[in-house]
Structure 1
C-alpha cells in the first residue's frame, strides 16, 4: 500500500501545483488599482475608485483623460472590447475556430474593418488625436498587466493590440445589436405583400390603436377586418411551423423619460434612462467620471462609457443629462435587383452594370484561411443566399453613419444646443432625451437620417429605374423634435413616437407594441410632481397591464364550467383569478396568462409563420406585432379566419389553454412550480464559462428569480433587460442613481467583478456619482 500512498500524494501535489500556478497566473492579470506609474501623459492623471469600482479620472486636459480611460478599460475589460471589434469585423473565428465561421461570413458582407479604417482617416484632427491617445492608453493598460486576461489562456491565444479603427468597430458592433443587418424584416414584409390581398395585408400589419402613446399625441385608428374571405394561402396552409414565435415574442430596446421643472418641487428637470440589451458577464457599460480643464474652464461628466470608445455614452455634465433608447425606425432598404439572363449584371438607371467583388480573408483558428468573395452593387452589398437577388442599403455603410461627434455632448450647456448637435453624430439612430439644469427637456433623433425617395419603405423595391433612391442625408432643421412640451414630460420606449409627415420620414423598423410606453406615460401623469425616487420606481414597474384583457378573456369566455370540469382546471382558474396582475417572482397566474396569450397567437398565425419558414424567414422577422389583428380576429370569431386544424374559435382558445398548461407542467413539474420567478431565472454568464471545467460556474452570476418581463417598464428576461438604470438631474448629480448588472471588472478575482450585481438584482439604487475614494492610481508623465 506504500506505493499507492506515494502515488496519491504525488497526484495531490501535482494538482495543487497546477491549481497554484493557475491562481498565480490569474492573480498576475489583475488590474492595477493603487500606486504611481510612468505613462505617456503630458501631466499627472489621477484614477480613483470607490467600493464598487466606479472610476473617477481627473487630469489637466481631455487627451490625457482619454489615455487614462483607455488604460482603465483595457485593464478591466480588454477581452470584452476584443469581442466587440471582432464581432463587427467578422474576426471571431481567429479566436474560436470553425464554430464562429458562419457568423464571420455574415459579418463580412458589411466590410466594417475597411469602413472603420476609412472612418478614422476622415476624422477631424481633434477627434483623431483623442482616439490616438485613447488607443495608446488601451495598449499601455494591456501591457501593464502581469499576464494577459485569463480568457486568452483558455483559448491558447495572445491578445492583439488595439488600433484606432477598432473603436469604430465597437461602434459598428452596436449597429449590429440595435438595427437589422440582413434585411430580413423587409424580405418578410415583401413576401406577405406578394402573397396576400392588400386589404388583408393592411389589416394584419398595422400599428396598434390599443397601445399607443406617441409623444406628439398623434393617433392611429383600427384598420377593420376585411369583409372578403380570409386569404386561401393562409386558411388552407397545412404545413406546420417548427418555430411559431412572432415579432413580439421578445422585447426590444429601452426606456427613457424625463420631467421638466414644472413637474418637480424645486424646478429642476430629471432624466431617467434604462437601456435594454443582452446581459452577460461583464455587462455592456463601464461607469466613469471624467474631469479635465480646457481653455481655463473645468469640465466634469459622469455616466456610462462603452469600453472600446473614449466617450461617456449616457450621463450628465452638470448642465445637461442625456440618455438613449433605440429609435426602432427604418434605417435601411432592401433593393430587388433586376438581373440579366446569366445573373452576371444588374440593371441601373445608367444601364447594365457588372457586380464588383471584394476578397475577404477570414483567419480560422487551427485551420487554413477562408476566402469569401463579397459581391457588391452601386447601392450596397448583395445579400447572402438564399436572398442573393437583393442588395442592402444601410446607414451603417456610409461615412455619415459612424464618427465620434457624440463627444460634443460632454460640453453642451442646454437642451436647445444639444438638439442641434444630434444630426452630426454618427451613431445608430436613437431617441435622444435631454434635460438641463434650467428645468428644460427635449427630444429628437440622434444619428444620420437618410433623405430618400422610396415608394414603400417596408418591402423590397426596384431601384433600377430611378423611382427609388437615397439622395443624401437630412439637415438638422429637418429632424423631428419636441422642446418643452406643455405636459412637462417626455418618454420613449421603442414604440411609435410620432405620426404624420414625421413618421413618413423615418418609417417603421419594427416598433414595439406600445404597451410599455403607454404604461410609462400614464405613470408619469399619475403624479403632479416627481423626484429621483419616483422615476426609479417607474423603471421597476412590473404591472402586467397589457395582459389584463387576456386574463379577462380566459375568465369570461374560455374557462367555462364544463371545460374546467372536463379537464380538471379548477386550480388553473384559481391561479388566473388570483395573481395575474403583475410579473412578480411568486406569481403563477401571470405565467399562465402569459403562456396562454403566446400560444393563442402562435396557433392563430401558425399558417402565416409556416409560409414564412418555407421561404427561409420567420415570424420574428415581421415588422409588426400581430397582437392587434389577432385580438380583433378573436373578438369577431369568423370561421373563415380559423386555421384549418380547428372547428371553432372556442376550440382554438381551449387548445391554447391545454397546450400551454401542459408545456408548463412538463417544464416545471406542476402548475404550483411554474411561478414566474422559476420561469424567469437569470442566466447572466461569462461567454467562456462553459470552457472552464469544474470552475466555469464561478465566472457566472448566480441564477436568481427576477421580477419583470416584456411589455412593461421593468423589462427583464433571462438574458435580456435593463443594462443600466440611471436617474439624474443635471446640477444635482449627487442625488442621482446609477446601477449596472454584474460589475465594473471582467476579472473574476477583482473586488469589482460583481460589485453592482446585488443592488441591480434587488432593485436597489446606487449613487450616480462615485462614492468615497477607496483606491488611487496616478499616471505620471515619463521623464
Structure 2
C-alpha cells in the first residue's frame, strides 16, 4: 500500500511539473512578442532617422524629418502594439477569415466577397492625392519593417494570437489601409437594415398606419405616409409570414445590428462662450467595445507641425484630434447612403435581370474561399447596375425578397475611386476651419459630421457622398424598391455644397449627438433615420446652463449620466400608478411594486452605477415595450430589443391613436395603457427578483451594466477569458451623454457593449491642457502592462494629457525607439 501511495505521489508530482513546464514554455513563447520600446533598429525605407518616444501611457510620439518618415514610424508603432488587430481587420475586409477560423466565419466571408471591398480599395489607390499616396506607402513600409524584424529575431510571430492561430501574413500594402477604411463604413452603416426592418414590419402589421409608431421618424419631419410594402413590391404578400432564423451574432462579424451602427458626441464653443477666450472642442465617438479598443492614441510630428489624437490601427491618419491650429471631432451623420433594390430575374434566363431598358445579364466573377479544415467554396459574384447582389441570409433580405427576385445594394462606400483617405490626410494638415472644410470635399464614406475649431471659429459639416434621388422614388429610400423602375435608381451624387454646414453660429455653441440636423423635404432630406432623439435635450440643457464654458464643463458634459428619457417617460407612464391604492402586505407582488414606485418617484434620472433605480427603470421600459408590441409583431418583436422612447411617448400620449398598442389583440378584455404599465412593472420585478433578489434598495445598476471589453477571438476560451477580457461596472445608459448602449437581448440584456472608446477635450486657449483617453490600453498584447492600464482611468472619467511638447513626452518615457535608415549598398 505504501508503495502504491509513493507512486501516486510521484505521478502527481510529475504531472504538476509537466503542467508547470508547459505553462512556463507557453508563457515564454507568447512573451517573445512583447515589444521592446527602448532600442535602436536599422530598417529599409527611411530617408532619415525616426524617433518614437513612448510617454508614461505608452502613447508614441513620432518624430521624423519628413512626413513620409513619420508615417513610417506610425506603421511600425501600430504593428508593434496592434498587429493581430490589423491582421483581423484586413482579413475581414478581404473576406478571408475562414482561412483561420474555418466554417464558423464562412457566412461573413461570403458577404464580404460580394461587397468586394479589397478590390475596390486597390482601384482607389490611384485616385489618392500624391501626398496621401506617399503616406500610405510609407505607412505600409513601416508595418513591413516590423514584420521583417519579427521574422529575423523570432519575436513570437508578433502577437500571441498569431502564435495560437498560425497563418501566413502577407506584406502590408497601401490598399490594405484603404480597405480597412471601407470596413469602417460596413460597421457604421445601418440603412440597409432599417429598410429591411421597415418592410418586414409593414408586412407584419395589420394596420399599416401603425408603422409610424413603432418606427417613428425624428420629430419635426412632417412626412406623408408611404404605401405598405405589400402594395409596393409585387409578390411581397407571400412573405407576410416568412420564417425568421434567430442567429447569434459572431464577435468577428463586422455587420452590426442597427442599434449598434455607430453613434458619437461632439460639441464646440467659440471664444465668446469660453471662459478662457479660446475655442473648445469635445468629442467621444461610440463604437462596439473590444479588447483592445479599436482606438490607438498617437502623436505625429509632420512638416506643418504636430498632430495628436485617436488613430485606428491599419490607417495612417489621426481621425479625431488636434494640431496647434485646428481641432476636429467626428460623429455619425446617419446620412442615407444606402438603398436596397429588389431585382426581377428573367424567368427564361436567371442570368439576367430586368432594367428600365429590358433584361440585361449580370456582371459576374468567380471567387474561391479557402476554409481551414474544410473544402474550399466557390462563389459566383453578381453585380447589377444598382450594385452587388446580396444573399437572402444577410440582414434577413430573404424575408422581403419575393420568389423570382434578388436583392442588390447601392452604396457610396462601393466607389472604386474613393478618396476618403485623402480627405483624412488633408484634414491633418489644415491650419484653419476654412482649409479643413475644403479638405472634406474628398470625403466619400462612411459619412460623418465633422466638428471643427481653429483659434477663432467653430463649424460643423456633414462629410460624405450624398446620393441624388428622384423626387418620385417609390419608397423614398425608406424600404426596398423595385430596381427596374427608373425613378428608384440613383441619379448621381449631390454637390458637396449641398451637405449640411454650420459655420460660426450666433449662439457660439455647436454640437451633435447623432440628432437630426436639418429638416429638408425629400429628396434633399439627408436621412429619415437619425441616431438620437434624446441625448440632444440633455446636451442643450447643459450648454444653456452656463454663459461661458471651460474644458472642465465640457468634460462634465461628456461624463453626464442623467437620463432625459427617464425624466420625461416615467411621469407619463406611471401617471395613474404613483401614490394610488392602500399599502399592500409585505411579501406580496403589490407591495414590491409599491416599493419600486416609491424609489422611482424620488429618483432624479441619474443612471449611476451604484443606484438601484436605473436597473428598475431599465427593466420596466424593456418589459413595457415587449408587452406593447409582442402581440402585434410576434417573432419580429425580437428586432426591437431596445425601448424606443419616441414610440413609448406616442403610445402614452395617444398620438394619432397610438394607444391602440396597449390593447392585447388576443384577449377579450380591452386593456388600458395603465394596465400594461402595471403588468410590465410586475414583469420587470419578477425578472429582477429571480436575478438579483427581492431587496430592491440594495440593487446596483453597475452589476447589470458591466462594460464588456471582450477579446473577439479569445474572449470565450475557458480560463484564458479572465486574462483577455476587461469587465467594468459602469454608469450611463442607452440615452445618456455618457452613453453605455446595452446589449438589449440575451441573459445579460443590460451589459454595456457600445460606447465611447475614445474621449478627447481640446482647449485652444491652452492647447497643452487638452486631454484624451481610450477605454482599454495602447497594447493589444494581453501580457503587456499597457493592455488595460488606461481602462480604470476611462471608467472613473479620468483623462491623460494631450501635449505636443516633446519634452513632456520624454520626461516620463517608458522607452525610446530609434529607427535608423539602412545604408545603401
TM-score by length of 1: 0.89
- Contact kept, 8 Å, 2:188 with 2:261, in 1: the verdict is no
Q: Distance in 1 between matches of 2:242 and 2:440?
A: 48
Quick one: which of 751, 759, 781 aligns to 2:793? 759
Q: Distance in 1 between matches of 2:87 and 2:106?
A: 17
- Contact kept, 8 Å, 1:396 with 1:402, in 2: the verdict is no
Moved more, 552-561 or 369-378: 552-561
Aligned to 2:333: 327
Q: Cα distance 1:369–1:731, how it changes in 2: closer, same or farther (>3 A)? A: farther
Let me know the Cα RMSD of the aligned residues.
3.1
User: What is the CA deviation profile of residues 506-544 of structure 1, one whole-angstrom value per residue up to 9, with x for unaligned ones?
Assistant: 532631341101211221111111111110100000002
Matched, 1:726 2:748: no
Q: Cα distance 1:319–1:627, how it changes in 2: closer, same or farther (>3 A)? A: farther
Aligned to 1:778: 818
Quick one: which of 447, 452, 458 aligns to 1:429? 447
Aligned to 1:541: 560
Aligned to 2:197: 188
Moved more, 114-123 or 92-101: 114-123
Matched, 1:354 2:358: no
The offset of 1:761, in angstroms, is 0.8
User: Where do residues 601-616 of structure 1 align in structure 2 (5 Å cutoff)?
Assistant: 601-610=625-634, 612=636
Q: Cα distance 1:282–1:107, how it changes in 2: closer, same or farther (>3 A)? A: same
The offset of 1:626, in angstroms, is 2.7
Q: Distance in 2 between matches of 1:14 and 1:248?
A: 49
Quick one: which of 620, 632, 646 aligns to 1:596? 620
The offset of 1:553, in angstroms, is 3.5
Q: Distance in 2 between matches of 1:189 and 1:621?
A: 16
Aligned to 2:8: 4
Aligned to 1:629: 650
Quick one: which of 156, 174, 186 aligns to 1:164? 174
User: Where do residues 177-576 of structure 1 align in structure 2 (5 Å cutoff)?
Assistant: 177-180=187-190, 183-193=192-202, 199-202=209-212, 205-209=215-219, 219-220=220-221, 252-293=262-303, 298-342=304-348, 343-385=350-392, 386=398, 387=401, 389-401=406-418, 403-405=420-422, 406-438=424-456, 440-453=457-470, 455=473, 456-501=476-521, 504-508=523-527, 510-559=529-578, 561-562=580-581, 565=584, 567-568=590-591, 569-576=593-600
Moved more, 677-686 or 62-71: 677-686
The offset of 1:716, in angstroms, is 1.4
User: What is the CA deviation profile of residues 130-169 of structure 1, one whole-angstrom value per residue up to 9, with x for unaligned ones?
Assistant: 2111111112113323111110222233444322221122
User: Where do residues 29-44 of structure 1 align in structure 2 (5 Å cutoff)?
Assistant: 29-40=33-44, 41-44=46-49
Matched, 1:618 2:639: yes
Q: Cα distance 1:349–1:645, how it changes in 2: closer, same or farther (>3 A)? A: closer
Q: Distance in 2 between matches of 1:338 and 1:754?
A: 52
Quick one: which of 129, 132, 150 aligns to 2:134? 129
Q: Distance in 2 between matches of 1:452 and 1:400?
A: 21
Q: Cα distance 1:185–1:748, how it changes in 2: closer, same or farther (>3 A)? A: same
Aligned to 1:212: none
RCO higher in structure (CA 8 A, sep ≥6): 1
Q: Cα distance 1:749–1:641, how it changes in 2: closer, same or farther (>3 A)? A: closer
Q: Cα distance 1:151–1:250, how it changes in 2: closer, same or farther (>3 A)? A: closer
SS of match in other structure, 2:37: coil
The offset of 1:369, in angstroms, is 1.2
Q: Distance in 2 between matches of 1:659 and 1:354?
A: 55
Q: Distance in 1 between matches of 2:310 and 2:346?
A: 51
The offset of 1:578, in angstroms, is 3.1
The offset of 1:759, in angstroms, is 0.7
Aligned to 1:744: 778
SS of match in other structure, 2:524: helix
User: What is the CA deviation profile of residues 302-333 of structure 1, one whole-angstrom value per residue up to 9, with x for unaligned ones?
Assistant: 10111000111111111110010111121111
Q: Distance in 2 between matches of 1:755 and 1:707?
A: 20
Q: Distance in 2 between matches of 1:191 and 1:637?
A: 19
- Contact kept, 8 Å, 2:362 with 2:384, in 1: the verdict is yes
User: What is the CA deviation profile of residues 341-377 of structure 1, one whole-angstrom value per residue up to 9, with x for unaligned ones?
Assistant: 3444222122211222222211211112111222221
Q: Distance in 2 between matches of 1:330 and 1:757?
A: 34
- Contact kept, 8 Å, 1:511 with 1:624, in 2: the verdict is no
User: What is the CA deviation profile of residues 577-613 of structure 1, one whole-angstrom value per residue up to 9, with x for unaligned ones?
Assistant: 2335211012212222222222222222224433747
Q: Distance in 1 between matches of 2:185 and 2:360?
A: 30
Unaligned stretches of 5+ in structure 2? 226-239, 249-256, 393-397, 742-751
Q: Distance in 2 between matches of 1:669 and 1:308?
A: 47
Aligned to 2:92: 87
Q: Distance in 1 between matches of 2:766 and 2:290?
A: 31
SS of match in other structure, 2:133: helix
TM-score by length of 2: 0.85
User: What is the CA deviation profile of residues 537-575 of structure 1, one whole-angstrom value per residue up to 9, with x for unaligned ones?
Assistant: 000000022112332235431356449736222322222
